[in-house]
Amino acid sequence: MNRSDSTFIRNIGLVGHQGSGKTSLAESMLFVSGTTHRLGSVGEGNTVSDYHPSEKERQMSIFSSLLHAKWQKHKINIIDTPGYPDFIGEVVAAMRVVDTAVFVMNAQDGIEVGAELAWNCAADSKRPAMFVINQVDRRHADVDRLTGQIMGRFGASASIVQFPGQGTNVIIDVLQMKQLSYDADGKQTAGDIPAPFMERAEALHSKLVEDIAVNDEELMERYFEEGELTEEEMRRGLRAAMIERELFPIFCTVATANAGTTRLMSFIEHVCPSPIDMPAAPTDSGDPVTASASGSPVAFVYRTMAEQHVGDYSFFRTYGGTIEHGMDLENAQTGTMERLGQLYVLNGRERETVPRMVAGDLGALVKLRSTHTNNTLRIKGSATVITPIQFPAPRYRSSIRPANEGEEDKLAQGLHQITAEDPSLVVAHDPHLSQVTLGGQGELHLRVAQYRLKAKVNVDVEFGRPRIAYRETVTTEARASYRHKKQTGGAGQFADISVLIEPLDGEFKKRPDISVRKTVQVSTGWGSTIEFIDGIVGGVIDMRRFFGAIQKGVLEAMQWGPLAKYPVGNLRLVIFDGGMHSVDSNEAAFKTAARMCFRAAFRQARPVILEPIHNVEVTVPESYTGDVMGDMNTRRARIQGIEAEGMMQKIKALVPEAELYRYSTALRSITQGRGIHTSSFSNYEAMPRNVQDKVVAEAAKEAEG
């Protein structure tokens, strides 16, 4: 294995839906390369990749695992990613640092949602991609059907390199034009293609050659001249086309039987791009970073994870130069210097120290003091900052609190730790709703977070339905007056104020009895705006002295709206009349009068409760479209349109946030796990009267309690 030359490094990410066999394929790759001496099984819980207790318990990948295998002179780094949609953040991070996305597809089940999500991640990161149709030995496997689906969904650029032969461990390879047979240990035997398969193999070979040649003028000329390309020319053309995402080769395997794995490894070695073949790393500042071992050292931390008895692992890719043990590098985000400890290459839980890592290699560091996910490590004085990973926004949110009183600090500490490790978990605190929420990609994502909180800081937590950030506002103009008069023996309190309140729509329309002397717009702490207008004439109120107190009183009242105690949204308030006393009037009096007058005017201005509306996009197989739309209608959704996206349908709708609680769980139930959705805030709208009455009644009941 050559660890000192970037040319001999290959970085691949195994992606696809849960159950497609990614972890089994990783096990087979480690086994046939001689890295391991036994073939682990997901069912038996003894795989190299899925070693966390929560993964063994659920028999599924939850965290991405960094693995590596020696193949000929090459080092192949493998990131085995989860396939369940709740853990898409792990896939997003992996796609940033690998050079080829290997899509593992279940030959029985067709294209599934995990593959759809991973495809979007690979496309966003502009990663070369290839397909491995796994489990071709299963009873209901239909490779031709799945191949057609791949071409229909991901484009005609998907090109068949292999298809199953006669027998469970026999594969026809149209790139080499050989029949490949495998024994239980993965040993490959190449032979002639049998006559029944020859016609199809020749047709697919010709199409593959044409697909390669059409993307390279030199190869096209040679193809026209000679009518064929050599295997080396095809490899070179394939690599170039893959880098440009113009070709996506399709392979076949039976990972649990080691069938097809050695050929796949050989293809990765000879065809998949090395780090030096790939474009420069994306940067926010500084010069482009190319994979040169002699360049300036640059490392990017794509993932952090605490391991019991070890400490905090920082998983990184060396983008430039050579990283060595004992080196001092600057954290571009914090400006602090980090002394690098031992460098590790990993196979799941097992680690091996190495003295250095060259550009393009993947590894891990332990116990960096102030370095986290998305941080760039560079030499002092460098301006290079690798562009951070954009993790997906939450699709599922629950309120969270400690099960036992007095453990709020432990919960806060634990939330800080797990969100640092998994940026797709998002904590939000809303003081106006008096709640802390934890957002993630789905219910299972949060359940795993619950498990991790218990393991890390020994705190039990309870999840609940989050309160909605409703707003209150007015729909028409109203006027009110209030006189505050209080005598306490000494100096009393006196303030008289009259206000006009109206929605903040457009400019203020002048009234005959109101003269605008001053306008002030104030942004509230909850994202609303209030416009104050000083319309006092004749000096009945000294506005230079009391205008600030009036604003404070109104803003205090706006924090807890008169309808249901929700913050008040955009409106205009005009102070147009009043009175004061030369001795008893003070700021406290006007603050109280303004608060009470605002409430009185608000109640008369036909108040409504506004609810947040979200843009929702639901992607589902066509057969589930009717069921999904029917469910959306029960959620007060307004369908905006339906678009075809390959073999899937994308439904766009506006849906009240209150109707989206646990929607990801409901959608999976409706679509048998094949539907996905995204949600983003759109705007606030007045809720229907019957819904508002229910919200007001619930608020009153809560206030009584």
What's the CATH code of the domain at 522?
A: 3.30.230.10
Does 1 map to a domain?
no
Mean local confidence (pLDDT), 32-49? 92
Picking from 448, 467, 486, the residue at the C-terminal end of a domain is: 467
| Structural contact between residues 10 and 75, judged by C-beta atoms closer than 8 angstroms | yes
pTM score of the predicted model: 0.88
Structural domain for 634, as ranges: 610-704
Does 391 map to a domain?
no
Burial per residue of 352-381, b for 16 or more beta-carbon CB atoms within 10 angstroms, e otherwise: eebebbbbbbbbbbbebeebbbbbbbbeee
Q: The domain spanning residue 692 has which CATH number?
A: 3.30.70.240
Picking from 386, 420, 435, the residue at the C-terminal end of a domain is: 386
298-307 and 376-378 strand pairing: antiparallel
310 pLDDT more than 80: no
Q: Grade residue 382 by pLDDT with cuts at 50, 70 and 90.
A: very high
Does 447 map to a domain?
yes
pLDDT at 114: 87
Mean residue pLDDT across the chain: 92
User: Does 637 share its domain with 582?
Assistant: no
Q: The domain spanning residue 215 has which CATH number?
A: 3.40.50.300
CA separation (Å) from 281 to 248, 386, 442? Answer: 22, 7, 31
User: Does 273 share its domain with 298?
Assistant: no
Does 147 map to a domain?
yes
Domain count, the chain: 5
Q: The domain spanning residue 416 has which CATH number?
A: 3.30.70.870
The 10s digit of each residue's pLDDT in 243-280 is 999 999 999 999 999 999 999 999 999 999 999 999 99
pLDDT at 3: 65
CA atoms of 515 and 519, how far apart (whole Å): 11
pLDDT at 218: 79
User: Does 67 share its domain with 123?
Assistant: yes
Sequence-ordered alpha helix ranges (H) in 497-652: 543-559, 587-604, 625-633
Q: Grade residue 583 by pLDDT with cuts at 50, 70 and 90.
A: confident
| Structural contact between residues 1 and 74, judged by C-beta atoms closer than 8 angstroms | yes
Q: Grade residue 490 by pLDDT with cuts at 50, 70 and 90.
A: low
User: Does 184 share its domain with 105?
Assistant: yes
Picking from 467, 499, 527, the residue at the C-terminal end of a domain is: 467
**Location of structure tokens 């096209």:** 220
Q: The domain spanning residue 303 has which CATH number?
A: 2.40.30.10
2 pLDDT more than 70: no
The 10s digit of each residue's pLDDT in 72-128 is 999 999 999 999 999 999 999 999 999 999 999 999 988 888 898 899 999 999 999
158-160 and 248-252 strand pairing: parallel
Return the percentage of the chain with pLDDT > 70, whole number. 99
**Location of structure tokens 């057969």:** 623
pLDDT at 187: 93
In sequence order, what DSSP letters do the residues of 497-514 get, joined into one string?
A: EEEEEEE--SSPPP-TT-
558 pLDDT more than 80: yes
Radius of gyration of the chain (CA): 32
296 pLDDT more than 90: yes
User: Does 302 share its domain with 266?
Assistant: no
196 pLDDT more than 80: yes
pLDDT at 526: 87
Does 121 map to a domain?
yes
User: Does 590 share its domain with 539?
Assistant: yes
Mean local confidence (pLDDT), 640-647? 86
| Structural contact between residues 650 and 120, judged by C-beta atoms closer than 8 angstroms | no
Does 488 map to a domain?
yes
User: Does 504 share its domain with 356?
Assistant: no
Does 103 map to a domain?
yes
Its sign, for the CA torsion 536, 541, 545, 546, is negative
The 10s digit of each residue's pLDDT in 114-157 is 898 899 999 999 999 999 999 999 988 999 999 999 998 888 78
User: Does 425 share its domain with 550?
Assistant: no
Q: Which two tokens stand for residue 144?
A: 């031709």
User: Does 289 share its domain with 426?
Assistant: no
Mean local confidence (pLDDT), 193-203? 96
User: Does 129 share its domain with 255?
Assistant: yes
Q: What is the number of other CB atoms lying within 10 angstroms of the CB of residue 186?
A: 22
Q: 231 exposed, middle or buried (CB, 10 Å; 0-12, 13-18, 19+)?
A: exposed
The 10s digit of each residue's pLDDT in 311-347 is 789 999 999 999 999 999 999 999 999 999 999 999 9
The 10s digit of each residue's pLDDT in 495-509 is 999 999 999 988 888
The 10s digit of each residue's pLDDT in 112-124 is 888 988 999 999 9
| Structural contact between residues 449 and 394, judged by C-beta atoms closer than 8 angstroms | no
**Location of structure tokens 């959306």:** 632
User: Does 99 share its domain with 185?
Assistant: yes
User: Does 102 share its domain with 237?
Assistant: yes
The 10s digit of each residue's pLDDT in 651-699 is 999 999 999 999 999 998 999 888 889 999 999 999 999 999 999 998 8
